[in-house]
Amino acid sequence: MPPTLPRIFVLLAAMLLLWEAFLRVSGWQAPFAESNLQANLTRISSFAFHPVPPNLILGSSLSGRLLPEFFAENGGQVGNLALDGAGVPLGLDWVRARPQKPARLFVEANTLFFRSPGNEEILRQSMATPVFSLGRFFYFFRPGSRPSAWAYSWLKQIREEQEAGVPGKARGLGGRIPPPPQPHELEGLRQLRRSGIEIDLVVLPTGQGEENYPAGWQDWTTELGIRWILPRQLLPDQGMELRYTDGLHLDRPSARAVCRVMQKAAFGP
């Protein structure tokens, strides 16, 4: 072996140890990733490899915009288990499976009963890989620790801070009332309420408008003691100042504003 190779290996090992130490001390993970799969695995690893936070967001890519750092700005401790392309039910399954439970769930009403078996299977297969499993012990194996994810998140933040999103096409809740849930869907929520978890159903603003979930689901949410948070009604002018990156998902300033009113509605001033 050439004498330079051992030096290269030692240097690489030292750099890896320094990177691991930095990740452990800072606790920082990239909030975004280059693909939906990597973004999901980042949030899943935070949930799976750390103590469960006292408050947890469950949702789809709509809720993926609600970053924990926005809540932390006002002293809140909120984790995010939003799953792009998968939705709420898989997150509820994982919460029920963990012995330790959050005290409160912020649950996205927009995709409350949406399931995507294909995407769920991809996530389960990805979680079964050795690399993902090693993330429990070594931070540098975690999806949110990849330098490419850091660079992507940094560039995305800069772009969204400098470029405002586009206005939405809808104002307030729409007139369409969603169909009632199936009994087995309600039973999963009922189990969580029996365990003492507070559940807030959040109707997230989108650039295309939202269905009138409270009108269609008021009976069973009242029965289960589930509260509603309607950010549009808590924002000036029914949230017409909100902007969207692609006509659907909240841009960074708008997501921060929604987090602020969610936090106030749940915990008070």
**pLDDT attached to residue 171:** 62
Of 81-90, 147-156, 167-176, the least confident: 167-176
Q: pTM value?
A: 0.89
**pLDDT attached to residue 174:** 63
CA of residue 85 relative to chain centroid, distance: 12
Of 32-36, 60-64, 69-73, 121-125, the least confident: 32-36
Residue 161 has pLDDT above 80, yes or no: no
User: 47 vs 86, which has greater pLDDT?
Assistant: 47
Residue 243 phi, psi dihedral angles, 5° rounding: -125, 160
Tell me the pairing of strands 198-202 and 78-80: unpaired
Distance CA 35, CA 12 (A): 27
**pLDDT attached to residue 102:** 96
Topology of domain 29-267, CATH = Rossmann fold (3.40.50)
Distance CA 118, CA 163 (A): 34
Q: Which residues contact 202 (CB under 8 A, 6 or more apart)?
A: 59, 63, 106, 107, 108, 109, 228, 229, 231, 262
pLDDT in tens, 248-261: 899 999 999 999 99
Q: Which residues contact 10 (CB under 8 A, 6 or more apart)?
A: none
**pLDDT attached to residue 3:** 64
- From the list 150, 143, 161, 251, the residue with the least C-alpha distance to 207 is 251
Crossing angle for the helix pair 36-49 and 117-127, to the nearest 10 degrees: 60
**pLDDT attached to residue 149:** 85
Full DSSP string of 115-178 = --HHHHHHHHHHHTSHHHHHTTT-GGGSGGG-HHHHHHHHHHHHHHHHS--EEPS--SB-SPPP
**pLDDT attached to residue 24:** 84
pLDDT in tens, 164-209: 778 887 666 666 777 888 888 899 899 999 999 999 999 999 988 8
